[in-house]
Homo-oligomer: A and B are copies of this chain.
Amino acid sequence: MTEHCSHSDHASCTLPSSEQVANFLDQAEVLCDRRNLRFTKLRKQVLALVCKAEQPVGAYHLLDELRESGRSAAPPTVYRALDFLLEQGLVHRLATNNTYLACAHPQHPHAAVFLVCSVCGHTQEVHTEGIIAELRRRAEQFDFAIKHASVELTGWCGRCRRSQ
């Protein structure tokens, strides 16, 4: 799960506590209730797994974890749950490495920028409406209307850069 903290030094950011995860799941439940959608046991379980992960996770990793938990599961099991969570803005998908991560701010629909460290895998969701708005303006100059922006910046996080 991406940190919900405000500071930029993510190196000092603690991993999501079980309390934070529970909080996030509660949020998700409220959100689904308001939209008259079913936050089923499967969807909750998959979201919990994505939240608990320190880094964005692959679909088949989630599948393994579902199976380890005792549940009968096949690829469609996890992909259907992920599709639901993506549609509701509860998770994001990273196209550059086919992984999924919990959204840092699921309350409001938004486009986001992702900073993906290619060394340690640490990934940070950055909300910069300014950038997205600027992209939208530029696209308009080309007579293009953006529906979805995928902005994934791969590189080195500070911690990895400092340790070579």
A residues engaging B (CB < 8 A)?
Answer: 8-11, 95-96, 113, 115, 117-118, 124, 126, 128, 131, 134-135, 138-139, 141-158, 161
Which of B118, B150, B158 contacts A147, CB < 8 Å?
B118
Docked complex Cα distance between A72 and B95 (Å): 31
In the complex, A156→B147 CA distance in Å?
7
Question: Is A135 a contact partner of B145 (Cβ separation < 8 A)?
Answer: no
- CB of B143 within 8 A of CB of A158, answer yes
Could you list 11 examples of A-B contacts with CB < 8 Å?
A: A8-B142, A95-B96, A115-B142, A117-B144, A124-B142, A134-B134, A139-B153, A146-B153, A147-B156, A149-B151, A149-B154
Contact B126 A143, beta carbon cutoff 8 Å:
no
Quick one: which of A144, A147, A151 has the most chain B CB within 10 A?
A144
Contact of A144 among B131, B134, B144, B153 (CB under 8 A): B153
Within 8 Å by CB of A157, from B96, B117, B144, lies: B144
Closest-CB distance, A62 to chain B (whole angstroms): 20
| Residue in B closest to A115 when the chains form the complex, CB atoms | B144
User: Complex Cα distance A44/B141, Å?
Assistant: 34
Q: Which residues of B contact A126 (CB under 8 A)?
A: 138, 142
Contact A156 B145 (CB under 8 A): yes
What is the CA–CA distance of A146 and B118 in the complex, to the nearest angstrom? 10
Contacts of A118 in B (CB 8 A): 147
Apart from A126-B142, A135-B153, A139-B155, what are 4 other A-B pairs with CB-CB below 8 Å?
A135-B151, A144-B156, A144-B157, A145-B155
A139 cross-chain contacts in B, Cβ below 8 A: 115, 153, 155
